[in-house]
Amino acid sequence: MIKKIEIAQLIPGMYIHDLNCGWMDHPFATNRFIVKDETVALELGAIGVHELYIDTSKGLDITEGKSEEEVREEIHEQILHIAEDKPAAIIAVSLAEEAHRACKLHGEANRIVKGIITDIRLGQQIELEKVEPLVESMVDSIFRHQDALIPLARLKTHDEYTFQHSVSVCALMVAFARGLNLSRDIIKEIAIGALLHDVGKAKVPDSILNKPAKLTDAEFAKMKSHVVQSIIILQNTPGISQIALDVAGQHHERFDGTGYPNRLKGDEISLYGQMGAIVDVYDAITSERVYHKGMPPTEALRKLLEWSKFHFKPEMVQTFIRTLGIYPSGSLVRLGNNRLGIVLEQNAEKMLQPKVKVFYHAEKLHYLPPEEIDLARPGCQDRIVSHESFEKWGIDPARWLPS
């Protein structure tokens, strides 16, 4: 049995199945191993692990703890509760109308961020007058129809992850800020901070950024230094706001005080830093990296909800989930008749019933003529039974997104 236990219950002889810290670097060579001595619990506690999963078929068991199935059921019930309270989003244009604009904007954003990182490496200063028009366009796109730009932000390549991650975080932060009903002026500053939140990585060697193996302690320290470097770079950028600085400087802080660089705790972290932490982790764990597989968006939202017990403010995570939907646009889902499809857009008042483009049969293993289905349409018998992984099925998501 896979069982979730508290870190204080971990003893030698147990077999760790999952360290339950998907975004963290840790001092162990793998996420699964037998616990040989008591120092393991101390090391895990020091980096902020509060709960983890053990495999009782491979190591010692205890009477306490919940099975993995029980944990998933609890989180599922929380998700259903969140789905009941979704305010209707204002959509200014159709998805088809916004999709083409969003595709062009996504490409332009990646080019601009790549140029900014290159300029910093050459010792040049960030020019906000180059950033602000791009940010305005991204905010406009999200306000017109967020389901056009946000799915594109998941399309990343290993070599350009740093640039593409910044664009993705920016788009997600704008949608999140809108879900929090923040003013348009504040949203713009949040977006600037999100787009520039990782500029300090320009000071980290590519050999560390793109290393396919576990980082050494020295390499990890260098990687963590990117936050301080981002703060220094942005503080020397004329016109930068405190809001943008908070996003960049606090996106690795954690609500329980185990983050970095300043180990801020609770509401010592600004609203914008709390938002940045949630979005940064979500985008990181859903992305394919050289050293780990990305998880499906729905699974990532469930993990955020589980981790919010310690690392994030629960109410903030719940708002983020309402913003994206239970099955975020761009997700792969399986319907009850074994057909697979990509989620095109949300039905705000029926979060479990988005609009889906069906194109593959999971049982017969062949493509189908594409069909768009509104699962919330009266009389529709189709329903989502699970979320799926594009990688598992060898499906290219870019092929099926509107453009």
Please identify, among 324, 356, 382, the residue that sits at the C-terminal boundary of a domain.
324
Q: What are the φ and ψ backbone dihedral angles of 65, each rounded to 5 degrees?
A: 100, 160
Same domain? For 124 and 27 the reply is no
Q: Answer yes or no: is 73 within a domain.
A: no
The single-letter DSSP state of residue 312 is: S
**Residue 28 zone, left/alpha/beta (φ > 0; ψ -120 to 50; rest):** beta
Beta strand 51-55 with 15-18 is: antiparallel
Please tell me what DSSP assigns to residue 310. T
* Dihedral of alpha carbons 112, 116, 121, 124, sign: positive
- Give the tens place of pLDDT for each residue, 32-61: 999 999 999 998 988 889 999 999 999 999
Please write the tens of the pLDDT for every residue from 62-76: 999 999 999 999 999
pLDDT attached to residue 8: 94
Report which residue type is found at 236. N
Contact 126, 199 (CB under 8 A): yes
The string of pLDDT tens digits covering residues 190-199 is 999 999 999 9
Mean pLDDT of the chain, nearest integer: 93
- Both 383 and 252 in one domain: the answer is no
pLDDT per position as a tens digit, 94-143: 999 999 999 999 999 999 999 999 999 999 999 999 999 999 999 999 99
Out of 9-13, 26-30, 38-42, 269-273, least confident range: 26-30
Read off φ and ψ for residue 102, nearest 5 degrees.
Answer: -65, -40
Residue 18 has pLDDT above 70, yes or no: yes
Same domain, 187 and 117: yes
Distance between CA atoms of 118 and 319, rounded to whole angstroms? 35
Domain interval for residue 44: 2-64
Domain with residue 184: its CATH number is 1.10.3210.10
Same-domain pairing of 59 and 172:
no
Confidence of residue 161 (pLDDT cuts 50, 70, 90): confident
Task: Write the pLDDT tens digit of every residue in 367-398.
Answer: 999 999 999 999 999 999 999 999 999 999 99
Q: What was the pLDDT predicted at 29?
A: 75
Instruction: Examine the pLDDT at 403 and tell me if it is beyond 90.
Output: no
User: Which DSSP letter does residue 88 get?
Assistant: P
Distances (CA, A) of 402 to 61, 149, 250: 50, 10, 34
Per the CB < 8 A criterion, the answer to whether 202 and 349 are in contact is no
**CB-based contact 312:304 (threshold 8 Å):** yes
Write the DSSP string, 288-301.
--SSSPPPPHHHHH
- State the pLDDT at residue 25: 67
Of 365, 364, 347, which Cα lies nearest the Cα of 356? 347
Average pLDDT over residues 6-16: 96
* Strand boundaries in 262-326, DSSP class E: none
> Which pLDDT score, from 0 to 100, does residue 160 have?
84
Do 269 and 175 share a structural domain?
Answer: yes
d(CA 86, CA 76) in angstroms, rounded, equals 16
Confidence grade of residue 209 (pLDDT, cut at 50, 70, 90):
confident
Pair 71, 4: CB distance under 8 Å: yes
* In 56-171, beta strands by DSSP E: 66-67
Residues 229 and 314 in one domain: yes
Look at the chain and report how many structural domains it folds into: 3
Is there a contact between 353 and 375 (Cβ–Cβ < 8 Å)?
Answer: yes
Q: Is residue 86 part of a domain?
A: no
Q: How many whole angstroms separate alpha carbon 27 and alpha carbon 214?
A: 9
Say what percent of the chain tops pLDDT 90: 83
Strand arrangement of the beta sheet that strand 15-18 belongs to: 33-34, 15-18, 51-55, 2-6, 66-67
Residue 75 placed within a domain = no
Rounded Cα–Cα distance for residues 218 and 207 (Å) = 13
Answer whether residue 71 is part of any domain. no
Residues 194 and 135 in one domain: yes
Q: Report residue 87's pLDDT band, with 50, 70 and 90 as the boundaries.
A: low
**Same domain? 11 vs 129:** no
Alpha-carbon distances of 142 from 120, 190, 300, 370, rounded to whole Å: 28, 14, 21, 26
Last residue of some domain: 17, 47, 64? 64
In a domain, 383, yes or no: yes
Domain identity same for 9 and 105: no
Same domain, 251 and 364: no
* pLDDT value of residue 24: 73
**What is the token pair recorded at 129?**
């007058």
User: CA 24, CA 32: separation in Å to the nearest integer?
Assistant: 15
Which of the four pLDDT bands, split at 50, 70 and 90, describes residue 86? low
Question: Mean per-residue pLDDT for 299-306?
Answer: 96
Residue 311: the pLDDT is 95
pLDDT at 289: 76
List, in sequence order, every residue forming a beta bridge with 33; answer none if it has no partner. Answer: 16
Residue 72 falls within a domain, yes or no? no
Quickly list DSSP for 204-251: S-HHHHT-SSPPPHHHHHHHHTHHHHHHHHHHTSTT--HHHHHHHHHT
Strand partners, 372: 357
Residue 130 lies in a domain: yes
Q: Is the pLDDT of residue 210 over 90?
A: no
Helix, strand and coil content of the chain, in percent to the nearest 5, comes to: 50, 10, 40
Summarised one tens digit per residue, pLDDT across range 216-241 is 889 989 999 999 999 999 999 999 99
Same domain? 183 vs 245: yes
- Is 74 part of any domain? no
Q: How confident is the model at residue 288 (pLDDT cuts 50, 70, 90)?
A: confident
Of 305, 324, 343, which residue constitutes the final position of a domain?
324
Which pTM was predicted? Answer: 0.95
**Per-residue pLDDT at 89:** 62
Kindly state whether residues 255 and 338 are assigned to the same domain. no
Query: Which stretch, 88-97, 274-283, 293-302, 343-352, has highest mean pLDDT?
Result: 274-283
> Do 261 and 227 meet the contact criterion of CB atoms below 8 Å apart?
yes
Name the band, by pLDDT with cuts 50, 70 and 90, for residue 282.
very high
